[in-house]
Amino acid sequence: MSLLLSLLCCCSPGHAADSPPAVAAVPTAAATISATGFDPERYEPAVLRLTVTQDPQGRDSILDLTLIPSRSELIGKRVTVPTQELGDLLRDLYGRLARQQAMDVANPSSPSRRLHQLLLEPLSADMQQLAITTLLISADPGLQAVPFAALHDGTTYAGERFAMAITPSLGLMPLDVPDSNADSRRKLAVGASEFDGLAPLPLVPQELERVTPDSGDERYVNRSFTPDVLVQKAGEESFDRVHVATHAEFLPGGPGQARLYTGTGPMSLRDFANLRQRRAGSAPLELLALSACRTALGDKDSELGFAGLALQAGARSAIGTLWYVDDVATSAFFVQFYRYLEEGLPKAEALQATRRAMASGLIRLKDNQMLGVGDRPLLSGLTANQQRRIASGLEHPFYWAGITLMGTPW
């Protein structure tokens, strides 16, 4: 284990070491994850540390890739790539995703394939040999914006092959396995479907109803969803999962300029900071999911956006989106995701299973309904316009690769 811990001091010059206890907890999590109903014989997590530095001339980026398995020694690789190429590849990939263009994954030079070659492929053989199933990706600023789920190895997308989560800092990660007592879990769901000056989100009421099927869950929609309700209710120890469905936006200038729209108006991203104080001395919030547009990214001053701030506010895990998303697909995605959670899958595996279901066509439109795994209805009563938007299917990674888990993967 001492070799594993040394990584954080020596793998990348110029980067501060993360806290050793975070890495030390990974084997413990692997051994006890069966408490969630997952088979420990097949569950194999690892930390993937990605750092980037510039060469002295500034023309090339030096990528250091380090795999920290839970049951064996660390493995490190180094890749050099022109800085301009790295930026161009990421912009090209985002462009193809946003326009829902063909990903051209048969072409090794396509952005999805090329970024996989740079960021994942150097360690692919090692991950296969170690049977890695779950990646906790600790990436430098700049690389945190990479849509890892949309990277392709020529056979399959990484988001289908791996369960994954992003962390801004291993030292701040609580890697212990949470209490598995499902009877004590309650969900808080809040959202807005009507706004002044913004497009309506008509599926929000139905989404909130379907993600809170249990009698102990609570919902606050439109005018009943206020900033105070979100902060006060999410601060109650009886709630361990909070789901927020609404509009959000980032403006230049850091966290104070970011806004989440409640049913009575916008609230500042800074208001999330009150959650840590309200839950002081009690169990942390297990999950804060933001079913809103582009909540996983901010500007250069707050790269991880609302989801990143949720981690700073004390949530063990947060879910946000990397780009502007279709509300029909996103609502269906989250309803299926919570069903997998209720079946006992860890958070990262529940997201992976939902990605697979959407990419394979198991989440699909039939008449005016969205059907999920086992043909169970996810949404109903879709309008002709909503049906038309998704009539060609949801297999393209635009619909599922941008929904990103940050923080603890289980």
Cβ atoms within 10 A of the Cβ of 73, count? Answer: 11
- List the single range of 35-44, 129-138, 267-276 with lowest mean pLDDT: 35-44
pLDDT tens column, 115-132: 999 999 999 999 999 999
pLDDT tens column, 186-229: 999 999 999 998 889 999 999 999 999 998 999 999 999 999 99
In the three-class reduction of DSSP (H, G, I as helix; E, B as strand; rest coil), residue 254 is classed as coil
Q: What is the pLDDT of residue 251?
A: 62
Residue 5 clears pLDDT 60, i.e. is over it: no
Give the pLDDT mean for 64-79. Answer: 95
Which residue would you say has higher pLDDT here, 23 or 139?
139
Q: What is the 3-state secondary structure (H, E, C) of 46-106?
A: EEEEEEEEECCCCCEEEEEEEEEECCCCCEEEEEEEEHHHHHHHHHHHHHHHHCCCCCCCC
pLDDT tens column, 19-62: 333 444 444 444 444 333 456 577 899 999 999 999 888 899 99
Ordered by where they begin, the domains of the chain are: 2-172 (no CATH), 186-407 (3.40.50)
Rounded to 5 degrees, what are φ and ψ at 297?
A: -130, 145
Per the DSSP assignment, residues forming a β-bridge with 135 are 46, 164
Residue 63 clears pLDDT 50, i.e. is over it: yes
pTM attached to this predicted model: 0.87
In the three-class reduction of DSSP (H, G, I as helix; E, B as strand; rest coil), residue 221 is classed as strand
